[in-house]
Amino acid sequence: MDSQNLSLIDRIRDSDVYFSFIKSPTAIISTVILMIIFFCSFFVELVAPFNPFDPSSLDLMEAFTPPSWEEEGMSKFLLGTDGQGRDMLSTILYGSRISLIVGFSAILFSLILGVALGLTAGYFGGKYEMIIMRITDVQLTVPSILMALLVDGIARGLISRELHDEMAIYVLIFAIGISEWPQFARVSRAATLVEKNKDYISASTIIGVSNIKIMFKHILPNILRPILVIGTIGLALAIIAESTLSFLGVGVPPTTPSLGTLIRIGNDFLFSGEWWITFFPAIFLVILAFSINLLGDWMRDTLNPKLN
């Protein structure tokens, strides 16, 4: 009864998760890095020194300025400028917002889809379960990047070209989301199978709680841990997938560049020596993905020792 009376903060302090978080320097460092990145990306208007999409602030004379510590660098452009005179730091922050929005939405989409299908499959069983699991089997043999490419290609065929640029970001979210859901379906099904044979579920069934209520109110909170773990690792995958697709030129339109788009644009300048245009977005992407992966690793060890 004691834990009921404690405030939320005390409960967090008391938990094993908090304990292992405090004990793990990697987890703390990666969380801090991620917090900074998230903050800067979502409040980019306040943080970024320039607005790279405001044509009036651009000066073509300032194009290809190297980073500020190089000889020809200017102090107002910390990381230099790109081919249109856009400040790299601001462009990267705006780009990372797009990347994060797409990544989060995609993973949320596949999480909802996967968990809903996996949970119901595990709970009801029978033919329905078999069909769902068969689909995940088939889809898991296809590499997800290929799946996303295909979905993207099909969507391009279905949507007219004029509409496509506006729709591109939703198409991208859908394409990445649809390519990641089998993971969630599998894990939540496996966890549901364990959960549903426990006494409290039988008890709920006996007192006549409806199936839907049992699934989403009783089973779901108990299987959240493994889902959260693959959700975190999936976020890194989704961000990488987004930038890969954008890098390949089938992602977001160049008018709203994401990190991948920036890397692709910068790639063209690599040979003429303007290395910073592609290097900084790339390193930013790597730091982002690496921190999420580290955090995911820590979560895997802490939240679910059994999942490997």
Partner 1 sequence: MVMLVVAFVSFSLFTFVGDPVHNMVGEETSDQEREEIREALGLNDPIPVQFTRFVRKASKGNFGTSYQLRRPVSELISERLPATLELVFVSALIALITGTLLGVYTGINRGSVLSDIILAISLLGVSLPTFVIGILFIYLFAVILGVLPSFGRGEVVDFGFWTTGLLTISGLKAIILPSVTLSLFQMTYIIRLVRAEMMEILQTDYIKFARARGISEKSIQYKHALKNGLIPVITIAGINIGTLVAFSIITETVFQWPGMGFLFIQAVKFVDIPIMSAYLVFIAFIFVMINFVVDILYYFIDPRIRVKSGDVNG
Closest to partner 1 by CB, 58 or 155: 155
Smallest gap from Cβ 144 to partner 1, in A, equals 9
Among 247, 276, 280, 298, interactor with partner 1 by CB under 8 A: 247
Closest to partner 1 by CB, 51 or 293: 293
User: Which residue is it, tokens 């008890």?
Assistant: 203
Contact region with partner 1 (CB under 8 A), list: 2-10, 25-33, 112-120, 235-243: 235-243
Smallest gap from Cβ 88 to partner 1, in A, equals 16
Closest to partner 1 by CB, 223 or 285: 285
Please tell me the distance from the alpha carbon of residue 121 to that of residue 211, in angstroms, as a whole number.
Answer: 13
Among 88, 289, 295, 303, interactor with partner 1 by CB under 8 A: 289
Q: Does 293 bind partner 1 (CB under 8 A)?
A: yes
Closest to partner 1 by CB, 90 or 243: 243
Smallest gap from Cβ 195 to partner 1, in A, equals 30
Please tell me the distance from the alpha carbon of residue 22 to that of residue 10, in angstroms, as a whole number.
Answer: 15
Please tell me the distance from the alpha carbon of residue 46 to that of residue 23, in angstroms, as a whole number.
Answer: 34
Interaction pattern, residues 258-287, with partner 1; x per rule: CB under 8 A? -----x---x--xx-x-x--xx--x--xx-
Smallest gap from Cβ 271 to partner 1, in A, equals 6
Interaction pattern, residues 92-131, with partner 1; x per rule: CB under 8 A? ----------------------------------------
Please tell me the distance from the alpha carbon of residue 109 to that of residue 239, in angstroms, as a whole number.
Answer: 14
Q: Does 290 bind partner 1 (CB under 8 A)?
A: yes
Please tell me the distance from the alpha carbon of residue 121 to that of residue 193, in angstroms, as a whole number.
Answer: 9
Among 243, 258, 261, 302, interactor with partner 1 by CB under 8 A: 243
Binding residues among 141-160 for partner 1 as defined by CB under 8 A: 141-143, 145-146, 149-150, 152-154, 156-158
Closest to partner 1 by CB, 50 or 276: 276
> How many residues at the interface with partner 1, by CB under 8 A?
36
Interaction pattern, residues 67-96, with partner 1; x per rule: CB under 8 A? ------------------------------
Q: Does 195 bind partner 1 (CB under 8 A)?
A: no
Write the secondary structure of 259-306 as one string of H (helix), E (strand) and C (coil).
HHHHHHHHHCCHHHCCCHHHHHHHHHHHHHHHHHHHHHHHHHHHHCCC
Applying CB under 8 A, which residues contact partner 1?
138, 141-143, 145-146, 149-150, 152-154, 156-158, 236, 240, 243-244, 247-250, 263, 267, 270-271, 273, 275, 278-279, 282, 285-286, 289-290, 293
